[in-house]
Amino acid sequence: MDLNYTANELAFRDEVRAFVSASLPPEISRKVIEHKRLGKDDFVTWQQILHRKGWIAPGWPVIHGGTGWNPVERHIFEEECAAAGAPPVIAFGISMVGPVIMAFGHPWQKERYLPRIHSSEDWWCQGYSEPGSGSDLASLKTRAERRGDHYIVNGQKTWTTLAQYADMMFCLVRTSGEGKKQDGISFLLIDMHSPGVTVRPIITLDGEHEVNEVWLEDVPVPVENLVGEEGRGWTYAKFLLSHERTGIAAVSRSKRELAYLEHIAAQEFSGGRPLLANVRFRDRIARVEIDLMALEITVLRVLAADRQGKPPGPEASILKIKGTEIQQALTELMMEAVGPWALPYLPDSWGDHWLGERVGPEYAAPLASRYLNFRKVSIYGGSNEIQRNIVSQMILGL
């Protein structure tokens, strides 16, 4: 694979860079680069800017509002957005349920939901995990009983990311208890404003309200909101997860974080030598950088195969494993780089002073919170232990 950009690709990079520089609100960019918390409006503002430009869904077919870019152009776009501090496009609509609807949905579902995903008119969340069904997702117990032209849904979902903002949820439900546990699972599109839907926050160790539990009590869902065929939801879920795991690799964002780590490590604290002067610490940064370069090449190979109509296979599990390990390593090294100046998330500490006492540089304050938050990345999207099982079975034949 030739990793040198062509003249056309360099021109495209300049076009993207100029657009992002002119269009990305600086207050949003600052939040992203400094690891401060983003609200729904921050994400939607950027996504609507991309929608108006026609760049919100690079991976979609042109007929549905995609860009027609090749894999290298998509990679360049992601790199430029990440480097500038653009928020990631929320994956649940664009990268997850959107491709499922395109591949398996009924024509009316494509006509209704795809434009609303594209414009960020609908915010989606994912109803997969349950209190007793996480890595063993096929053991889910949320049931949907058909009564006339509706399903009546009862059950509980957990770790539902950003459900407090959601208009819609794509949800795995059990419509039959016969056969293997993977059988009898169906894929429903549920309006989060329906009677019987209750969202309760789960406040995580970093103090963040990012995930939720969702209670479904006699929730009526029109039968027409079934995607594909009843009992085929497990097939659709695997298709979706392969796209999710590829995106979790987050190469471009990790490259931005690597540059930020080097910036932090070059600072001098209290008159001492910068940590970057320590050869052992530089070696640890170098190892992460080498891993990140190898991951980037692997992602480009997957994108090239996708361009030829080959959806991500078990190699998506490799991307998920290595990508999340790199992300966690970067948060750990940042914590070490600032040492005692790293604090848990305390909003009042964001500044040069807190309660009248010096607490270190402002950029150090969010790093402990970020470290704690990123412990989850090796779990969601299918835990890394499960991904290693997939690799051993599908690639190594063990």
Question: Are 191 and 220 spatial neighbours (Cβ–Cβ below 8 Å)?
Answer: no
Q: Return the CA Rg of the chain.
A: 22
Cβ neighbours for 65, distance < 8 A, ≥ 6 positions apart: 54, 56, 57, 114, 115, 118
Distance of alpha carbon 303 from alpha carbon 309, whole angstroms: 10
Alpha helix ranges (H) inside 85-202: 91, 98-104, 107-118
Q: Which two tokens stand for residue 341?
A: 């100046």
Distance of alpha carbon 35 from alpha carbon 359, whole angstroms: 17
The reply to whether 34 belongs to the active site is: no
Cα–Cα separations (whole angstroms), residue 69 to 54, 66, 103, 178, 194:
12, 8, 19, 44, 38
Distance of alpha carbon 284 from alpha carbon 70, whole angstroms: 34
Distance of alpha carbon 72 from alpha carbon 303, whole angstroms: 8
Distance of alpha carbon 311 from alpha carbon 364, whole angstroms: 40
What three-state secondary structure class fits 258?
A: helix
Alpha helix ranges (H) inside 339-377: 367-373
Set 244, 257, 296, 315: catalytic member = 244
Location of structure tokens 């869902």? 221
Distance of alpha carbon 302 from alpha carbon 312, whole angstroms: 7
Which of the residues are catalytic? 244
